[in-house]
């Protein structure tokens, strides 16, 4: 049961551990000055932050639940509460200037609430100087402020930052929960399970895949690469055209490569559910030995490294697709 317009984090799907931790804090009225919500992108960390802020400032809270009706709840629902701020990376980084400015802003009391909540999104994007500046704020937090840092658990976050915060763990959602969320966001019920699986339980990522038509190109790639009728020597044109459409994904390429790895991993585990969904269990497709599949994983990984080093995108895609044949 999930209500997306709700400001109660308890009504969101999954994340039982995070719910338990936050509910315990709310019940005991022991709120930390700073939390770090760690987990993959797109699984609901920001919604939880908004829910916690709403609960903290509700004028008529029932246990851990915001009433949903008071003036504070109303502003959280319409997403324009003056004491709820979000700081996001600009051009991929949270800059030191923004952190210094925040330090200054926090010295003023909240505008109209008991507690001002500031969400710092993707703190792994902070360089050392910015992180050190934030550390000072975390060491002596001005009263009536709660900072919620969010960060991708797969990326490195400065240990000193983590040590100043209460850690709240988040993980990928179940495929069923992710699919249900996608359907509620208007995704066709037929494609929701596949998108859910490919996003590894991240509704936010799944919606991005859908927008980028990445999944369509992925399906085409899987079809061409597994088709026994496609001969790499004779059908060079098919592979080159495919490489062009893959390269055109540009900044979505890393996500596309992650999808390809899921495909190879599924083949290694003998789980061909994805392919079956896509090709109706077509038995006329290539099969590979584990050695060949491991070689494919390495081909994708070296493409990832080359892209990170800004090698020519088209060339990287061509080489990779020929190695995946």
Name the minimum Å distance from CB 172 to Zn ion.
Answer: 31
- If the CB atoms of residues 59 and 127 are measured against Zn ion, the closer one turns out to be 59
The rounded distance, in Å, linking the Cα atoms of 145 and 49 is 13
- If the CB atoms of residues 67 and 85 are measured against Zn ion, the closer one turns out to be 67
- If the CB atoms of residues 113 and 133 are measured against Zn ion, the closer one turns out to be 113
Interface stretch with Zn ion, choices 4-12, 64-72, 221-229, 285-293 (CB under 5 A): 64-72
- If the CB atoms of residues 70 and 258 are measured against Zn ion, the closer one turns out to be 70
- If the CB atoms of residues 26 and 184 are measured against Zn ion, the closer one turns out to be 26
- By CB under 5 A, name the one of 21, 67, 158, 262 that touches Zn ion: 67
70 is a site residue for Zn ion (CB under 5 A): yes
Name the minimum Å distance from CB 53 to Zn ion.
Answer: 12
Name the minimum Å distance from CB 58 to Zn ion.
Answer: 3
26 is a site residue for Zn ion (CB under 5 A): no
- By CB under 5 A, name the one of 47, 73, 119, 225 that touches Zn ion: 73
Give the interface with Zn ion as residue ranges (CB under 5 A).
58, 66-67, 70, 73
């Amino acid at each position: 049961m999930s209500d997306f317009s709700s400001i109660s984090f308890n009504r969101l799907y999954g994340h039982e551990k995070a719910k338990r931790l936050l509910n315990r804090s709310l019940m005991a009225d022991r709120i930390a000055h700073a939390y770090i919500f760690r987990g993959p992108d797109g699984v609901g960390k920001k919604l939880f932050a908004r829910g916690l802020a709403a609960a903290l400032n509700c004028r008529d809270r029932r246990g851990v639940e915001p009433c949903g009706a008071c003036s504070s709840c109303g502003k959280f629902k319409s997403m324009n509460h003056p004491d709820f701020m979000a700081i996001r990376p600009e051009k991929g980084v949270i800059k030191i200037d923004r952190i210094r400015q925040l330090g200054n802003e926090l010295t003023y009391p909240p505008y109209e609430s008991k507690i001002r909540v500031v969400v710092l999104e993707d703190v792994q994007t902070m360089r050392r100087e910015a992180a050190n500046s934030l550390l000072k704020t975390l060491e002596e937090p001005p009263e009536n402020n709660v900072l919620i840092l969010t960060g991708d658990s797969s990326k490195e976050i400065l240990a000193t930052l983590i040590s100043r915060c209460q850690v709240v763990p988040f993980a990928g959602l179940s495929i069923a929960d992710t699919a249900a969320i996608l359907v509620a966001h208007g995704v066709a019920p037929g494609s929701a399970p596949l998108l859910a699986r490919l996003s590894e339980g991240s509704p936010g990522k799944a919606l991005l895949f859908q927008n980028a038509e990445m999944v369509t190109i992925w399906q085409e790639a899987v079809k061409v690469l597994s088709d026994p009728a496609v001969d790499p020597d004779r059908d060079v044109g098919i592979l080159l055209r495919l490489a062009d459409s893959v390269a055109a994904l540009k900044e979505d390429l890393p996500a596309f490569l992650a999808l390809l790895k899921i495909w190879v991993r599924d083949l290694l585990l003998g789980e061909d559910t994805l392919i079956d969904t896509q090709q109706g269990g077509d038995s006329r497709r290539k099969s590979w030995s584990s050695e060949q599949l491991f070689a494919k994983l390495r081909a994708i990984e070296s493409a990832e490294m080359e892209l990170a080093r800004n090698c020519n995108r088209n060339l990287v895609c061509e080489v990779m697709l020929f190695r995946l044949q």
